[in-house]
Amino acid sequence: MASAAQVQKIMTEIEGLSFDGVFKALNDTAAGIGAALRILYEEGGSTTSGRISELMGVSSARVAVLLKTMALKGLITKKKNIIDARITVVSLTPFGRETILKMREEIGRQIGRVIDRIGFERLVEFIATAKEIKETIEPTKIMF
């Protein structure tokens, strides 16, 4: 069983860390425009708005707003399905494809720098440890 001193030491160390900025580049590809671009790229450059909604785990209304913004930026094109007008087919534009490839390249460079600085084995160990911590931590229950 962990001692009070050990618990306090870990709490103090954690307070000094801020991972918000550290993982921002990675998180940006898991949410919003980055996620939609990644999904389109992985789906071969084209898919339905419903599929994007499903894979992102967000409402179709949220995806509709996101796709409108992406279309205005020239990242995608949207077309109604010929057979069923309720279905919107979304495709990457050449600019959208170029953008996601640049994002993936930059993320690769970032991860490469981390591996070069920390070492592959230590990074793998850190990720395994972080997964264990995530599985162990439960939300704090505060009673008011």
Looking at residue 37, its amino acid is L
What is residue 101's predicted lDDT score, i.e. its pLDDT?
A: 95
Task: Find the mean pLDDT for residues 74-89.
Answer: 92
CATH code, 72 = 1.10.10.10
| Alpha-carbon span 9 to 13, nearest angstrom | 6
If one compares 2 and 67, the residue with the highest pLDDT of the two is 67
Is there a domain that residue 105 lies in? yes
CA distance 67 to 57: 15
Specify if 15 maps to a domain: no
Write the Ramachandran bin of 141: left for phi over 0, alpha for psi from -120 to 50, otherwise beta.
beta
Q: What are the tens digits of pLDDT across the range 53-70?
A: 999 999 999 999 999 999
Band (pLDDT 50/70/90 cuts) for residue 14 is confident
Contact 111, 127 (CB under 8 A): no
Phi-psi region of 60 (alpha: psi -120 to 50; beta: other; left: phi over 0): alpha
**8 A C-beta contact, residue 52 and residue 59:** no
> What is the domain count for the chain?
1
Domain, as residue range, for 61: 21-136
Spatial contact of 22 and 110, defined as CB atoms under 8 Å apart? no
Whole-number percent of the chain with pLDDT over 70 = 89
